[in-house]
Amino acid sequence: MEMERINENLIKVYINVEDLEERGINFLDLISDQKSVEKFFYSILEEVDVERQFYDSEAITFQVIPSNDGIELYISRSDFEDIDSLFDEEVLKRIHGRRQQSEAVTNKRKEEPAIEDVDDEDDEASKSPENLSDLLSEALDKAKNSVLPNHSIVRFEDLDGFIKFAREQVDAPVQGDLYYMNKHYYFVITNIEPLILEEESLYTIMKMKEFGEGTATTVAVLEEYGELIRQDDTLTYFGKYL
């Protein structure tokens, strides 16, 4: 784990995959297990001694950016006005970098001749999880629906909270259904498994937790007792037209 003091208001902590494993947490937990997330981040705050770093601040905020081989945690004073713009710039850099890397690999494969015979050693190496995407894929193969179901549900206190999120993420490649039940709004992210393997979609899902919160409510309960407001293109609809 590495810490960088960017300025008097902002600290960046880089946490690699090995750090996550040592703490008994994987990337799936950061999406689906709210208690594990809270426990994990509080331990990080203690390790970087946030109380001493921001001794004169009453409250702090933190935001997360996933990367190939870990996560970057940005810890800031709650009154630091530039954190959102800085955070979004960092995410765009990551996404742009990943796309360039993917295009470079694709072009390289096109230029190289096909190789049919592969040594056993090379074959084993290719199976080893060397980056976060490999780890996610391997974890999903093992855990299946028992750990991460095919959907994730986020509860919003009111419709205004969901609309604010939808406007910010209007172009995100995430589909889901919006329900209303017991004076709260529930966004059901559908077909989540392929989404967490894409950095842009994963960022959207994690960003959503800043506007809403995880819930134990199930899809079955929402379907029976809730009112379906919008289906599939919910983010696009509320982000563009409301």
> What pLDDT, in 10s, does the model give residues 159-183?
888 888 888 877 777 788 999 999 8
What average pLDDT does range 17-31 have in this prediction?
73
* 132 CA to centre of own chain: 12
pLDDT of residue 178: 92
Whole-number Å distance between alpha carbons of 8 and 83: 12
Structure-token pair, residue 237: 């609809």
Q: CB count, 10 Å around CB of 38?
A: 10
> What pLDDT, in 10s, does the model give residues 114-129?
444 444 444 444 444 4
Global confidence as pTM = 0.42
Range scoring the smallest mean pLDDT among 96-100, 142-146, 168-172, 175-179: 142-146
Report the chain's mean pLDDT, rounded to a whole number.
Answer: 70
pLDDT of residue 138: 54
Instruction: Walk me through the domains of the chain, giving residue ranges and CATH numbers.
Output: 1-113+125-144 (no CATH), 151-241 (3.30.70.1950)
Beta strand segments in the chain, E: 2-7, 10-16, 60-67, 70-77, 151-156, 176-181, 184-190, 213-214, 227-230
Structure-token pair, residue 63: 């935001």
